[in-house]
Amino acid sequence: MSIQIWTWILVGITFTLYIGIAIWSRAGSTKEFYVAGGGVSPLANGLATAADWMSAASFISMAGLISFNGYDGSVYLMGWTGGYVLLALLLAPYLRKFGKFTVPDFIGDRYYSNVARSVAVFCALLVSFTYVAGQMRGVGLVFSRFLEVDINTGVIIGMIIVLFYAVLGGMKGITYTQVAQYCVLIFAFMVPAIFISIQMTGNPIPQLGFGGADENGVYLLDKLDGLHKELGFAAYTSGSKTTLDVFLITAALMFGTAGLPHVIVRFFTVKKVSDARKSAGWALLLIAILYTTAPAISLFSRTNLIETVSNKEYKKLPEWFGNWEKTGLIKFDDKNNDGRVQYLADASKNELIVDKDIMVLANPEIAGLPNWVIALVAAGALAAALSTAAGLLLVISASVSHDLIKKMINPNITEKGELIAARLSAVVAVCVAGYFGINPPDFVAATVALAFGLAAASFFPAIILGIFSKRMNKEGAILGMLIGILLMLFYMMKFKFDWFGGGTKEDWWFGISSEGFGTVAMIVNFFVAIVVSRFTPEPPEEVREIVESIRIPSGAGDATH
Amino acid sequence: MDSSKEKKYWKKNLKYLSILLCIWFLVSFVFGILLVDELNTIRLGGFKLGFWFAQQGSIYVFVILIFVYIKLMNRLDKEFGYNN
């Protein structure tokens, strides 16, 4: 059977599964809609968190990014896993004990102020919208490459599926579809990785094949370092970013992970505090399976790519090369007209441009794996994109219906009315996300990576101080969040979008990239919050009692309004 | 509620947190970034050690850290009678 028929079959089966789950797990109350009723088991929540977390970027782009950046790609591996240690130790148990529906709920109550709540809603919407647009685009890309439908039709199909289970099932529907999506995406990621690891090193475990040797007994990492040297690239195992920048980017991704609202709310769905800790453990274990495999795929596919195309006759290249050339993700320009592919670091002589996303999407074809494996990758990429999109859409709809309408505009709204408002805002959010997926503004790609900087610069300090400092008051927290996020936005706009006079790499403050600047903005947030709180009134007694109570795990009741 | 008991519990919790977070910092920021070049002179099979920490080892340690934390806290909760 052809790749396309296999893809239709696998995508069809998985989509039917998701819709079936959505119908089975409809939400009947706001509690079910926002936190799945609060009775999700730790393992199910770990599975759902892992799928929620691993987006189109983790599945499709990360291995390719590492492939092209070698050691520098480590920032994503450490950053996007290390954040879970912070989540498990510093946030999840206490926020679960607090027992509300959303992150702005915590900020608003802990800092006894609707101004604080509004700032939190603004940050949550900013972070989630930038992130969700990228997911819808990912859905469209997979459809267009594997099923040869128009990219916009792909986005619309994705929208309809997400709409179906996010609007119908809320958090409850999302949770159980995410459990299924994790299984699909991890299977789809691991099968080709295992095949290729056996092909290249004889070891079926990619994590071990990563340190393995080829048939001549040469370690693959050493071999690739050698190939890179021949072609003029920097050695694969050493980077080209400065140590300071690597340090700060890793930190920004870690603290950002721990401050992302769509990840935090997942911990509101379990029964008790010890379950919140447990599900963080499960989540990281399940995420680590993909994250320790990805750098092995990067190594295998980079070596494979160079060996297959470098200095080979263009006419004799395998079929996949032509397939991907059609999509524009591979470009070949025979500059010296010798009919061979020169792949070199020197831009004036280099004849080959390869998009990073190919490394996962085309990997099975490059390695000559059977058609069903190639189709499986498409189903896995869709699962990764859809599960993250759904989680983000829920945060957006809860911010509007719960934090804005119920908590600020109309506190007397009935339970039924709030549920309708939640569903309506989910519909609007899906449409906005779809619009950005079809007409991606240039800044989407740049801001997805920066969403972490924004989360680190705003939420992380406010939540940590809210738990670990009884003295922290509303003045400190609000000013800290505002200055943190505005500073981050300013730096990002200046150096990514060329606003405020713009600037090049030489103008970066202390040589820090926008990706790493989130850490600086976070430190500024902490500093401002602590200093301001010392010169302004202490928080009221009942707030100190809230803090004392969230530190003790027992008696975590159900999540309430 | 007995506030000195709560204080004791919180202090113990903070002690666990600081030890675990020191290890978290060590395996990622120190071994994987700050000392990567020094550690790369040591080999671990097909890997240079610093590179291994940055792309594999730190992640394994993160997973272990969370499970150790779960175990420690469950024991502590039991000891203080907070495990209902």
Rounded Cα gap, residues A180 and A188, in angstroms: 12
Does pLDDT of A444 surpass 60? Answer: no
B7 falls within a domain:
no
For residues A80-99, average pLDDT: 93
CB contacts of B12 in chain A (<8 Å) are: none
Banded pLDDT at A557 (limits 50, 70, 90): low
pLDDT of residue B4: 87
Q: Which of A257, A221, A309 is nearest to A57 (CA)?
A: A257
Q: Does B36 touch chain A (CB under 8 A)?
A: yes
B52 falls within a domain:
yes
For residues A237-241, average pLDDT: 85
State which residues form the domain around B74: 12-80
B30 falls within a domain:
yes
Transcribe A357-410 into DSSP letters. THHHHTHHHHTT--HHHHHHHHHHHHHHHHHHHHHHHHHHHHIIIIIIIIIII-
Q: Which residue of A has its CA nearest to B25?
A: A82
For residues A502-520, average pLDDT: 83
Banded pLDDT at A127 (limits 50, 70, 90): confident
pLDDT of residue B52: 96
Residue B60, class by beta-carbon neighbours within 10 Å (0-12 exposed, 13-18 middle, 19+ buried)?
A: middle
For B58, which of A78, A89, A548 is closest by C-beta distance?
Answer: A78
Asked if B17 lies within 8 A of A89 by C-beta distance, the reply is yes
Transcribe A135-177 into DSSP letters. HHHHHHHHHHHHS---HHHHHHHHHHHHHHHHHHHHHHHHHHH
- To which CATH superfamily is domain A3-311+356-441 assigned? Sodium/glucose cotransporter (1.20.1730.10)
Residue A70 carries which side chain, given as an amino acid letter? G
For residues A301-309, average pLDDT: 89
pLDDT of residue A141: 78
Residue A205, class by beta-carbon neighbours within 10 Å (0-12 exposed, 13-18 middle, 19+ buried)?
A: middle
- pLDDT, tens digit (0-9, with 9 covering 90-100), for A308-367: 888 888 888 888 888 888 877 788 988 888 888 999 988 888 999 888 777 888 888 877
- Ranked by mean pLDDT, the top range of A130-144, A149-163, A182-196, A440-454 is A182-196
CB A29 within 8 A of CB A321: no
Banded pLDDT at A446 (limits 50, 70, 90): low
Banded pLDDT at A445 (limits 50, 70, 90): low
- pLDDT, tens digit (0-9, with 9 covering 90-100), for A456-501: 999 999 999 999 999 999 999 999 999 999 999 888 888 877 777 7
pLDDT of residue A232: 87
Asked if A251 lies within 8 A of B29 by C-beta distance, the reply is yes
Does pLDDT of A86 surpass 70? Answer: yes
Task: Among A117-131, A531-545, B41-55, name the one with the lowest average pLDDT.
Answer: A117-131
* Chain B stretch 5-34, residues whose beta carbon is closer than 8 A to a beta carbon of chain A: 6, 9-10, 13, 17, 20-21, 24, 28-29, 32-34
> How are the residues of chain A apportioned to helix, strand and coil, as percentages rounded to the nearest 5?
75, 0, 20
Number of domains in chain B: 1
Banded pLDDT at A505 (limits 50, 70, 90): confident
Rounded Cα gap, residues A142 and A10, in angstroms: 13
Residues listed for chain A? 561
Residues of chain B with pLDDT under 70: 1-2, 84
Q: Does A548 touch chain B (CB under 8 A)?
A: yes
H-helix segments, A202-315: 206-209, 220-231, 243-258, 261-264, 273-309
Banded pLDDT at A273 (limits 50, 70, 90): very high
For A74, which of B55, B69, B84 is closest by C-beta distance?
Answer: B55
For A288, which of B34, B46, B63 is closest by C-beta distance?
Answer: B63
pTM above threshold 0.80:
yes
- pLDDT, tens digit (0-9, with 9 covering 90-100), for A179-204: 999 999 999 999 999 999 998 999 99
- The terminus-to-terminus CA distance of chain A in angstroms comes to 54
Does pLDDT of A24 surpass 80? Answer: yes
For residues A287-298, average pLDDT: 95
For B66, which of A84, A237, A250 is closest by C-beta distance?
Answer: A84
For residues A529-540, average pLDDT: 95
Does pLDDT of A429 surpass 70? Answer: yes
Question: ipTM for the complex?
Answer: 0.95
Contacts of A471 (CB under 8 A, 6+ apart): A533, A534, A538, A539
